[in-house]
Structure 1
Amino acid sequence: MAGELQEPLSWIGQVDSLHSGSISLGRFESEDLSWERRSSFSQNSDRIQETLIDPCIKGTQNVLNSCLKASSVKRVVFTSSSSTVRYRDDSPQIFSLNESHWSDIEYCKRHNLWYAYAKTVAEKEAWRISKENGIDLVSFIPSFVVGPLLAPEPSSTLLLIQSIVKGSRGEYPNTAVGFTHVDDVVAGNILAMENSKATGRLVCSGPVAHWSQIIKMLRAKYPSYPYENKCSSQEGDSIPHSMDTTKIARLGLPPFKTLEQMFDDCIRSLQEKGFL
């Protein structure tokens, strides 16, 4: 493969005790690459600092500091989020958001967008540590991940889709966001890890849509479900925008799967596993 770091490559798919500061270095010593996993999408509004912000930031610090002690780690792939890019007052005026754009921390605070706040602060901290210590860091930036169920239980993102389809949530999010098939996310992660030309931040996002559009699409194809009809009154999360994925496409990522493909795979998987 052109631009390949090394073959074969060893992966770290999960790091235990992210928040304790006592990560076992034995997990790293024989590895060429490390990837720092994504934080949970869900959040407890009553304990936001304790349950979301601190774990996200401290977990990032602990993983990178452990990588510093493991001399064999050649690259760290940090799984970030499009939430670190799209929350800006000027997003509607920007033709297409790319790797150079960052979410505005004050905007996130103003609209109580604490997941975006935590992810943005954590990624900036990752870049600070990597630049100060010469770590080869690649930040992988997916949007809302959709696709078939890969674990025994639905993830927080699939639980959100399930609750919207079943009409059990009370309302659907007033959110416009990019959606990306899990297959595209996996392929993008592999490029970020294996391709030596992968540098900096890599946006990996399929089509952008509002949840009202998603519900309309699903209702037409799967009409037997009740679906949510009421839109949330949350402000600040429905900014019209688009995501520029030119950089990751140039590394060799194939065209993104469509909204129809990713949600078909998701709904059928939830049906087959008895969750719908």
Structure 2
Amino acid sequence: MAPSFYDPSATTVCVMDASPHLGFNLVNRLLQRGYTVHASVQDHAGEEQFRGISADSHKLKIFRSDPFDYHSIIDALKGCSGLFYNFEPPQDQPNYDEYMADVEVRAAHNVLEACAQTETIQKVVFTSSATAVVWREDRKSLELDLDERHWSDVNLCRKFKLWQGMSKTLAEKTAWALAMDRGVNMVSINGGLLMDDDLSITTPYLRGAAEMYEDGVFVTVDMEFLVDAHICVFEDVSSYGRYLCFNHIINTHHDAIHLARKLTPSAPNSMPQRSLFNSDEDKRFIEQRISNKKLNKLMVDFEA
């Protein structure tokens, strides 16, 4: 629940990048809650999707911003008290590879530096990933469940070509270092696999899916829950640090097959689960080894 003195109708926030499904849904929900929104997009195509989304044209402003163009970021942030930041790979380099980490780190650095220079910014909600948490050599021997206190091992990610995990870990660490150095109030949302309409077998999060499944840490999140989590941590003045965000875990044979068929609907029934999960006719229930208690506790009283 937002604090009693909190008035969204008097608050202007920025969503960057607003083009992908998460950004678009955040913009829509924030407008519904009474916010004025600066929607930052990278190209003209991103602008078109917002036509008619707001009944009040003064409540939504579209900005063409490039995360590698510091001045365009500053323009989008002017007058905003908060930023919801979600990295979207550039169109000329859409796939995660060993070079994407440098790109994502540079973007995070530019955005956090711009926030530090924008006097009105009170809080930054930084969208990260559970892949910045789960990839550790000791993940099978830990006595406690993995949670937001843990970080993925960059060297492990590099060794096994877990490029998204490496990129998200380095970018989030860069953001945290800069936020602490510049005094920026930041929280991060480390989301599970987003169960969105455009989910496909090529989604970078899925590299290492079999290992995550076997380790009991393969978590997913619905769009509605993910959006609510972002807004909750922004509005709640007590929020701090990192928040693992998921509302389902893939830890049974049935779950694995269901997801595999969703990812590869045209493939024979016996193929997807073998290639993704190595779980041929496996009936085990795999114990969950990851916790989102911190976020759930915060969201108990949140009014969506």
| CA gap 1:38/1:253 in 2 versus in 1, 3 angstroms | farther
| CA gap 1:161/1:202 in 2 versus in 1, 3 angstroms | same
1:114 aligns with 2:163: yes
* Counterpart in the other structure of 1:268: none
Return the offset for 1:250: 1.2
Question: Deviation digits for residues 12-38 of structure 1, max 9, x if unmatched?
Answer: 122420123333423212111012113
- Partner of residue 106 from structure 2, selected from 41, 46, 58: 58
* Counterpart in the other structure of 2:56: none
| CA gap 1:31/1:226 in 2 versus in 1, 3 angstroms | same
Question: Deviation digits for residues 167-193 of structure 1, max 9, x if unmatched?
Answer: xxxx99535321111111011001111
1:181 aligns with 2:183: no
How far apart, CA to CA, are the structure 2 residues paired with 1:133 and 1:220? 46
Question: Deviation digits for residues 200-231 of structure 1, max 9, x if unmatched?
Answer: 0011112322696545236899xx85356054
Give secondary structure in 1 for the equivalent of 2:125.
Answer: strand
**CA contact 1:80–1:142 (8 Å) conserved in 2:** yes
Q: How does 1:255-274 map to 2 (within 5 A)?
A: none
AA aligned to 1:64 is L
**CA contact 1:10–1:33 (8 Å) conserved in 2:** yes
1:43 aligns with 2:61: no
**CA contact 1:215–1:227 (8 Å) conserved in 2:** no
* Counterpart in the other structure of 1:190: 231
* Counterpart in the other structure of 2:116: 68
Q: How does 1:8-27 map to 2 (within 5 A)?
A: 8=8, 9-14=11-16, 15=40, 16-27=65-76
Give TM-score, length-normalised by structure 1: 0.72
Return the offset for 1:251: 1.0
Give secondary structure in 2 for the equivalent of 1:11.
Answer: strand
Q: Percent identity?
A: 21
How far apart, CA to CA, are the structure 2 residues paired with 1:38 and 1:114? 15
How far apart, CA to CA, are the structure 1 residues paired with 2:162 and 2:277? 10
- Partner of residue 127 from structure 1, selected from 156, 160, 176: 176
| CA gap 1:247/1:172 in 2 versus in 1, 3 angstroms | closer
Bigger mean CA offset, 85-94 vs 62-71: 85-94
**CA contact 1:219–1:225 (8 Å) conserved in 2:** no
Give TM-score, length-normalised by structure 2: 0.66
- Partner of residue 78 from structure 2, selected from 29, 38, 41: 29
| CA gap 1:207/1:7 in 2 versus in 1, 3 angstroms | same
| CA gap 1:55/1:253 in 2 versus in 1, 3 angstroms | farther
1:79 aligns with 2:152: no
1:199 aligns with 2:248: no
**CA contact 1:219–1:227 (8 Å) conserved in 2:** no
Bigger mean CA offset, 243-252 vs 80-89: 243-252
Higher relative contact order (CA 8 A, sep 6+): 1
AA aligned to 2:298 is L
**CA contact 2:250–2:256 (8 Å) conserved in 1:** no
User: What is the RMSD computed on CA atoms of the aligned residues?
Assistant: 3.6
How far apart, CA to CA, are the structure 2 residues paired with 1:198 and 1:172? 31
1:96 aligns with 2:112: no
**CA contact 2:251–2:288 (8 Å) conserved in 1:** no
Question: Deviation digits for residues 120-161 of structure 1, max 9, x if unmatched?
Answer: 0111111100111111010111110114x4xxxx3xxx1338
- Partner of residue 298 from structure 2, selected from 248, 251, 273: 251
* Counterpart in the other structure of 2:7: 7
How far apart, CA to CA, are the structure 2 residues paired with 1:225 and 1:233? 15
**CA contact 1:84–1:120 (8 Å) conserved in 2:** yes
How far apart, CA to CA, are the structure 1 residues paired with 2:301 and 2:135? 27
Question: Deviation digits for residues 49-82 of structure 1, max 9, x if unmatched?
Answer: 1xx2122101101111111111000011110100
Give secondary structure in 2 for the equivalent of 1:247.
Answer: helix
Give secondary structure in 1 for the equivalent of 2:140.
Answer: helix
How far apart, CA to CA, are the structure 2 residues paired with 1:98 and 1:5? 31
AA aligned to 2:74 is L
- Partner of residue 187 from structure 2, selected from 122, 138, 143: 138
